[in-house]
Amino acid sequence: MRTHWVMDYETLNNCFIACFESVSTSDKEVFIVHELQNDIVEFIAFLNRNIDLEEWHVSFNGIGFDSQITEYILRNQDLLLEMSGSDIAHWIYGKAQDIIQRQNEDRFLEFSPWDLQIHQVDVFKLNHWDNAAKRSSLKWIQYTMDWPNIVDMPIHHSTEIKSMAQIRDIIRYCFNDVSSTKKIMQLSKSQIALRKTLTEEYNINLFSASETKISKDLFLHFLTQKMGQKKSEIRQLRTKRSEIKVGNILLDYLEFQTITFQKLLNAFKEIVVYPDQTKGGFKYSIQYRGVKTDFGLGGIHGARNSGIYKADKDMMIMTSDVVSFYPNLAIRNGWSPAHLPKEDFCEQYEWFFNERRKISKKDVRNYVYKIILNSTYGLSNDENSFLYDPEFTMRITINGQLSLALLYEMLTERIPGAVPLMQNTDGLETLIPREYEQRYYDICKEWEKITQLELEHDTYDKMIIGDVNNYIAVNTPKEVDLETLRDIQKDNPHYVFFKTSDNKYYYNAVKCKGRFEFHNLALHKNKSFLVIPKAIFYYFVHGKDPVEYIKSQTNIFDFCAGKKIKGDWEFIEEHVENHVHIKNKLQNTIRYYVSNNGSKIIKHNFLDKRTTQLVAGRWLQTLFIDYVKKPMEEYDLNYDFYLERIMKEIHNLEPNKSQLSLF
């Protein structure tokens, strides 16, 4: 009977372990290649069966590592069947080190994905954890998804394995990685189904493709048909530029009424951008209506001082976002990478936009078109992409932020009593007198006519602003039927739900950003001390006392923090035992919580001897690498640490609130 397999290999100096678990059941297979036990015949037979039955391998970084070993074994199986277990293990170990060396030197894989005899689903690549901004190891993802055991490999790969006891330890470790990879696969189920659909529809292998790769490959697929050129020809296209004179690419409609914004526009007109020096290449800030707003080569970012901003009977909080801002800037202004025909590019780009609007959000194509629309701008600044043209990128980002600045000025200059709250990349929030609501919409319509762009509007009851990247926004209540309410509540239990005296149902949607995020965090993100943003949220949104809230929490993982280390650094645990100062070196990814009794965890540079405490001050930590279930009071949590951080944040946002009133 056919099945697919979640798998992982452990390659040691004189021992090779291959562990497999069925995707759909708990069935397991394990193969040992060592002088004490040599399963090479059974292992090769298993791999050949995978090929014959078209059974797939699901892995974490399997395309870059495990599949390379698999393919190497398959291509040399006749040779291996004549060798001893010890020799085979050494042979595989040598190959593993060669693969790692290739990766370190950023060389191409020996076997490309389309050369592999066994089909692969790589959850590492699928989730784009090979990207610099999201880079994550399996240990880190184990931490972020609260995996019970995040223990490192107990035996170094160079160790000479001499006993079956050691081999059993390696197998336990390997199956822990397999099981956690299976969990990631289950969490990625909808994404895998999407890639299966796309692969079958377009005959492009996208099973392990990141969203960026999906965007690139599908845009290429459609452009190939439109331009009548081969994919291989279009893939080679690029537009490289030595400099970009910003004054030459600004839109004609950018005209401002106030001196502040006129100076801003003039500053942009003088810029010369050098594509290889864009990071920090230009910064400009304005002070306008009590808000400091920053401009650069990316997007606009500005926010009022931290605090609580509420709508009331006289004032309302308006929020307006530009619909598909960056794609529509290109479409409406006829921009394309210079090496691609404008008509073909813009027609195709607009087709994706229009098609997405026609179909339900439940339709898989809606999500695919969203990926393509959002990723294309980023790919124009990627030298490895056929969409590369840094001038196209700058046209979008610079004209985008100046266009939004134009709306910012129009609203605040023409609405008496308007108070700007926030401006961020593709939208803005403004506190306005309720009597001017229609004027607000009229000004927005005027802006839409000038720019040919479209705005979406909503209102907030309250905004809790730390800064432009860290805030909580509570929407104005919306009426829904009971069935819809239950569906929303199931996916968003942190929203505000209520029933009125006349039996009508309402909910307030809530958006949390930055350090206030806690619900459905992306797996690569650090979720350290999650109980803190939760307590802050429930205080400001639901009015819950932080002391009562954290004392009522029963998930120990919400009190934990994670830390990873690399390079010349190491973690050292220091504690005193029987009046003796003890130091222990720790693994590179750790999980811990703050406790009344425990140790100090130090980050130590073993070259220049610098040290820093993970948690500064008097606080002690308890390592929590391997989960142990017990009553909350037995974990010895130091609640004062968590409460101090919670109250500091509340006090920063509500400086007039007595810090003692909640204790």
3-state SS assignment for residue 306 = coil
Instruction: Answer yes or no: is pLDDT of 620 > 80.
Output: yes
Going 555 to 648 to 140 to 493, the CA torsion angle's sign is positive
Domain residue spans of the chain: 5-206, 210-239+339-388, 244-338+389-475, 556-653
The token pair at 73 is 């074994």
Q: Is a pLDDT exceeding 90 seen at residue 660?
A: no
CA-based R_g, the chain, Å: 28
- pLDDT of res. 606: 87
| 328 half-sphere exposure, CB direction, 13 A CA radius | 16
Q: Are 39 and 102 in contact (CB under 8 A)?
A: no
Q: How confident is the model at residue 363 (pLDDT cuts 50, 70, 90)?
A: confident
Q: Which residues contact 175 (CB under 8 A, 6 or more apart)?
A: 19, 21, 28, 30
Q: Is the pLDDT of residue 662 over 60?
A: no
According to DSSP, the β-strands at 291-295 and 589-595 are: unpaired
pLDDT tens, residue by residue, 198-216: 999 999 999 999 999 999 9
Give the model's confidence band at 2: pLDDT under 50 very low, under 70 low, under 90 confident, else very high.
confident
Torsion of CA 525, 529, 530, 535, to 10 degrees: -150
Tens of pLDDT, residue by residue over 449-476, are 999 999 999 999 999 999 999 999 999 9
pLDDT tens by residue, 238-268 = 999 999 999 999 999 999 999 999 999 999 9
User: What does the alpha-carbon distance between residue 140 and residue 155 come to, in Å, rounded to a whole number?
Assistant: 19
Distance set, CA 297 to CA 259, 270, 331, 402, 652 (Å): 21, 13, 20, 11, 31
Q: Indicate the pTM of the whole model.
A: 0.92
The string of pLDDT tens digits covering residues 173-185 is 999 999 999 999 9
Write out the H or E segment, with its range, that includes residue 421: strand 419-424
CA angle 207, 144, 528 (to 5 degrees): 150
**Tens-digit pLDDT profile for residues 366-404:** 888 998 998 998 899 999 999 999 999 999 999 999 999
657: pLDDT confidence band, cut at 50, 70 and 90? low
CA distances from 93 to 169, 259, 479 (A): 19, 68, 63
And the tokens for 584? 């222990």
**Contact indicator for 50, 108 with CB cutoff of 8 Å:** no
In 169-314, beta strands by DSSP E? 244-245, 272-273, 284-288, 291-295, 301-303, 307-310
Give mean pLDDT, residues 516-526.
Answer: 94
- CATH architecture for the domain at 244-338+389-475: Alpha-Beta Complex (3.90)
Provide the pLDDT for residue 663. 39
pLDDT tens-digit readout, 636-654: 999 999 999 999 999 999 9
Q: Are 624 and 592 in contact (CB under 8 A)?
A: yes
Residue 65 DSSP symbol: I
Q: State both tokens at 448.
A: 């839409």
- Measured in whole angstroms, the distance separating CA 629 from the mean position of its chain's CA atoms is 29
Helix, coil or strand: residue 130? coil
Span 112-119, mean pLDDT? 94
pLDDT at 420: 97
Is the pLDDT at 518 greater than 70? The verdict is: yes
% of the chain residues with pLDDT over 70: 99
> Of 264 and 156, which is predicted with more confidence?
264
Residue 578 has pLDDT above 90, yes or no: no
The least confident of 148-152, 263-267, 641-645, 659-663 is 659-663
Average pLDDT, the chain: 94
DSSP state of 110: S
In angstroms, the CA 150 to CA 126 distance is 22
The overall longest dimension of the chain from CA atoms, in Å, is: 87
- Which residues lie closer than 8 Å to 403 by C-beta, 6 or more apart? 251, 254, 329, 451, 453
Contacts of 354 (CB under 8 A, 6+ apart): none
Rounded distance, CA 450 to CA 228, Å?
36
Q: In this predicted structure, what is the pLDDT of residue 509?
A: 95
- Order across the sheet with 496-499: list the strands: 478-480, 505-508, 496-499
**Rounded-to-integer distance, Cα 588 and Cα 566, Å:** 7
pLDDT confidence band for 631 (50 / 70 / 90): very high
Q: What percent of the chain has pLDDT over 90?
A: 88
Distance, in Å, from the CA atom of 526 to the CA atom of 145, rounded to the nearest integer, reads 10
In whole angstroms, what is the distance from residue 337 CA to residue 352 CA?
A: 17
pLDDT in tens, 587-608: 999 999 999 999 999 999 989 9
Query: What is the mean pLDDT of the segment spanning 625-636?
Result: 95
**Helix, strand and coil in the chain, % to nearest 5:** 45, 20, 35
